Structure 1
Amino acid sequence: MTAGKGYLFAELDVVDAAHFYNEYMPRVHPVLKKYGATFLAGSDAPIVKEGGRSVKRVVLLEFESLHRAEEFYHSEDYQAVIGYRFDSARSHLYIFEGLGAQPG
């Protein structure tokens, strides 16, 4: 089995929309591009079917590998802008590896 792609999944509750969209988003997009992230999905109205959680916004990004997703998150570039997200949104963020090529 070959290694899978890397994914970043975020659950967000934007508490300061002006700061999030005017300060964080313009700064994070070039960093995501630099690390080859692809936006696979995003929604401002996810439907929670189980777990009793209230989730306001979700985003799913794909990277060429788990290593690349980790490089993005820990990079000086992203660490320089992450505070804008912390200042404007509450979030749960996950990085994980996809399944990769399955035999057969």
Structure 2
Amino acid sequence: MQRKGFIYAELVVTDPEDFYNEYMTRVGPVLEKWGATFAIAGGEPQVLEGDRNVERVVLVEFDSPEKARDFYHSQDYQDVIGYRTRSAKSHLYLLEGTAQ
């Protein structure tokens, strides 16, 4: 069975106006084009262990790990990634789901 792919992001938004008005309005249509869906998109995660201070987490689901990787490297996403990198500090991870 095909495993799902995910991109997980931990974000600290440094310029909310630019992040929400520029990046988010542009990335939504790109994600839709690639068939991706938000599994999680929110702030204030509760850290249960460790000393990390994460303000916002996002988990985006794709049909496969390969599709998630292709999305990230696609021209579609590369055209909008600069809006995120200038308005937020982030860590992104490519994850492979478990077999269904």
8 Å Cα contact 1:13/1:57 also seen in 2: yes
SS of corresponding position for 2:68:
helix
* Identity value in percent: 57
User: Following the alignment from structure 1 to structure 2, what is the Cα–Cα distance between the partners of residues 22 and 7?
Assistant: 24
SS of corresponding position for 1:81:
helix
Root-mean-square deviation (CA), in Å? 0.8
User: Following the alignment from structure 2 to structure 1, what is the Cα–Cα distance between the partners of residues 58 and 38?
Assistant: 8
SS of corresponding position for 1:22:
helix
Which residue matches 2:3?
Answer: 4
Q: Structure 2: which amino acid aligns with 1:63?
A: F
Q: Structure 2: which amino acid aligns with 1:15?
A: T
| Cα offsets for 1:56-85 (capped at 9, x unmatched) | 000111100001101110000100110000
Unaligned runs of 5+ in 2: none
TM superposition score normalised by structure 1: 0.92
| Cα offsets for 1:18-53 (capped at 9, x unmatched) | 000011011111110011111111221100111201
Unaligned runs of 5+ in 1: none
